[in-house]
Amino acid sequence: MNEKEIENYFRWVVELNHGKTWKFTSPQNRGVSDRIACFPNGDVYFVELKRFGGKRSALQYIFAEDMKNLNQKYKLFSTIAEIDTWASTLKKK
């Protein structure tokens, strides 16, 4: 499955769980996550999407570490199964 298909599935799962997701681009800050997902209960996730076997860049690793240090929710998904497992843990409101 390619990255676009993973991204489309992720968007569908977020919407199914009453959330919204936006494409995240920051021209001055390379390495930011692909998407931001927000849910009615206040949860916000920074999400990196890769095709199975896809590799993150060094800047993407730095962004992930920054999010961890700021106590933000950061996720990396490369399969539908990973997205489904995550979706099963979402808090319902």
pLDDT tens digits for range 9-21: 999 999 999 999 9
d(CA 82, CA 40): 22
Q: How far is CA 41 from CA 1, 19, 49, 81, 88, in A?
A: 31, 9, 23, 24, 15
Domain assignment of residue 63, given as a range: 3-87
- Please indicate, yes or no, if residue 92 is contained in any of the structural domains: no
What are the two backbone dihedrals, phi and then psi, of residue 46, each rounded to the nearest 5 degrees? -100, 120
Phi, psi angle pair for 3, to nearest 5°? -60, -35
Task: Determine the Cα–Cα distance for residues 74 and 65; give it in Å rounded to an integer.
Answer: 9
* Any domain includes 60: yes
Higher per-residue pLDDT: 32 or 92 = 32
Question: Does position 1 have pLDDT exceeding 70, yes or no?
Answer: yes
Work out how many domains the chain is built from and give that number. 1
What is the CATH classification number for the domain harbouring 22?
Answer: 3.40.1350.10
pLDDT at 27: 86
